[in-house]
Amino acid sequence: MWKPPQRIRHPIPEVRWPTAREAAAAMLFSPLRHGPLALAERTWVPAMVPWRATGDGFVTPEILAWYERFARGRPGALVVEATGIRDVPSGPLLRIGHDRFVPGLRELAATVRRASGGRTRLLIQIIDFLAIRRRPAPEKYFGRYLEITDRHRAALGVDDESEVRRLLAGLTPEALESVLDERELEALRFGARERVTDMEKPHIRELPRVLPGLFAAAAGRAREAGFDGVELHFAHAYTMASFLSALNTRADGYGGSREGRVRLLREVLRAVRGRVGSDFAVGCRYLAEECIAGGSGVEDGEYFGVELARAGMDFLSLSRGGKFEDARQPRVGRAAYPYTGPSGYECMPTAVSDARGPFGRNVEPTARIRAAVRAAGLATPVVVAGGIHGFDQAEELLRAGKADIVAAARQSLADPDWFAKMRRGRGAEIRRCVYTNYCEGLDQSHKQVTCQLWDREALDEPGVQLSTDGRRRLVAPDWDES
């Protein structure tokens, strides 16, 4: 993973944990109600893909165990990983693009309800993504994938296609730069990647016609399966975030100005609401800042926040970065991964950082967006995430009105009982995340996600589920509450 050039190692801050009495009076553990979003407390476990679905997108016993383990800590809300809305193969990622996925998802919802004693509200993050290919071996790229055009023929002064391919394969990287265009070079060096601006492709042109229906059908299935709501995935490197991006230059009314860029999101929300009604929570996750050159900044984030809140979102969850544009070049045979560049760092910052450090980098931008939403007279709850690791930090930002709900991904993975431990005044027992991103490295290589702090512990415990290589346990050991 990319690290800031300063490479300052930040210790995990010393923190103070609340007594049970203090926790009971804390804002963090106070309820929140906004329309259909009714939380027992303001703690939130955001979406984390654990790479545990079947190859064709169904819920597995390992998925059930993953969510069951988080639910036992009884957070206010738990968001199920990014789940695909299309009925197309997408590897071991959960899918909700067909009714056949509903029974498994129903079992998942029932499992979380049972494990949390009905206390945790369960949302599912629903996502669309565009095609991305693996980085090809150059001989394959020039031998098969590259579409030979007159431009290549003219540049090389030969007509015969196989001769053009042969000559291209022999060019130096510098020489290739004057023969291939930018997208062809990208396809060679990173793997071809579709963009929402590829208007010459009919399926991309038609996205605004197709996506509202797909999101609405997926949300309908989530409701049928017993979820409490959906989180529309408008963040990071995926289709909807690309519509919001300042790099979206579509000229069909769905790009360019901020108004154009947010238009499809409003249309998706309208379709979803039409399908699930007003008593089912519908919110979204989007980026406070894209953190890439030429990308949307916090002023855009403020505008989108107001528009999305006004359009009727039940919550706004703010993330940051996580884009393809600055991702690292993958190895041959692997696809680019959006969390490997500076924007990826902003999304999941590690302890090796710059002077600002990894903790709460998204708090101030989120506070600005919330302030803009409130200034527009809207009460939509705002969720903040990114390096939230301690009680005082969470409580202070809530009390200062910087956010309404506090999300913690990695700290909750490190210790799924950490909210329960704080509530009980037993914060000293919390296993604290060390922000090294071992978990994120597993995610990047599509391996079952676990945490380095517990995945080698008590592997011979009866009934313990192990990773496919048999070396790691898949969920955190139980907390001895006695």
Ligand X SMILES: Cc1cc2nc3c(=O)[nH]c(=O)nc-3n(C[C@H](O)[C@H](O)[C@H](O)COP(=O)(O)O)c2cc1C
DSSP secondary structure, 386-428, as one string:
SS---HHHHHHHHHTTS-SEEE-SHHHHH-TTHHHHHHTT-GG
The one among 128, 326, 395, 443 contacting ligand X by CB under 6 A: 443
The one among 414, 422, 430, 476 contacting ligand SF4 by CB under 6 A: 414
**Binds 46: which of ligand SF4, ligand X, none (CB < 5-8 Å by kind):** ligand X
Nearest-angstrom CA–CA distance, 76 and 68: 14
Signed CA dihedral, 183, 189, 192, 197: sign only: negative
Kindly give the residue spans of alpha helices, DSSP state H, lying in 77-170. Answer: 102-115, 138-140, 150-156, 161-169
> Own/partner pairs for 182-187, CB < 8 Å, 24+ apart?
184/146, 187/133, 187/136, 187/141, 187/145, 187/146
Measured from the CB of residue 265, what is the shortest distance to ligand X in angstroms? 15
Q: Quick one: CA torsion of 318, 319, 321, 322, rounded to 10 degrees?
A: -140
Mark residues 338-377: x for contact with ligand SF4 by CB under 6 A, - for none: ----------------------------------------
The one among 62, 346, 440, 455 contacting ligand X by CB under 6 A: 440
* Nearer of residues 45 and 93 to ligand SF4, judged by Cβ: 45
Q: Per CB under 6 A, does 409 bind ligand X?
A: yes
Contact 356, 393 (CB under 8 A): no
With CB under 6 A as the contact rule, which of the stretches 323-331, 418-426, 437-445, 456-464 interacts with ligand SF4? 437-445
Q: Per CB under 6 A, does 111 bind ligand SF4?
A: no
With CB under 6 A as the contact rule, which of the stretches 53-61, 104-112, 384-392, 431-439 interacts with ligand SF4? 431-439
Q: Per CB under 6 A, does 82 bind ligand X?
A: yes
The one among 73, 301, 341, 387 contacting ligand X by CB under 6 A: 387
Cα-based angle 421, 37, 79 (whole degrees, multiple of 5): 55
Nearest-angstrom CA–CA distance, 10 and 353: 7
Output the six-digit token pair for 89. 């193969």
The one among 32, 164, 217, 408 contacting ligand X by CB under 6 A: 408
Q: Quick one: CA torsion of 325, 326, 329, 334, rounded to 10 degrees?
A: -60
The one among 32, 40, 47, 85 contacting ligand X by CB under 6 A: 47
Q: Per CB under 6 A, does 437 bind ligand SF4?
A: yes
The one among 348, 363, 372, 420 contacting ligand X by CB under 6 A: 348
The contact set with ligand SF4 (CB under 6 A) reads 410, 413-414, 433-439, 451-453
The contact set with ligand X (CB under 6 A) reads 46-49, 81-82, 125, 235, 285, 319, 347-348, 385-388, 408-411, 439-440, 443, 449
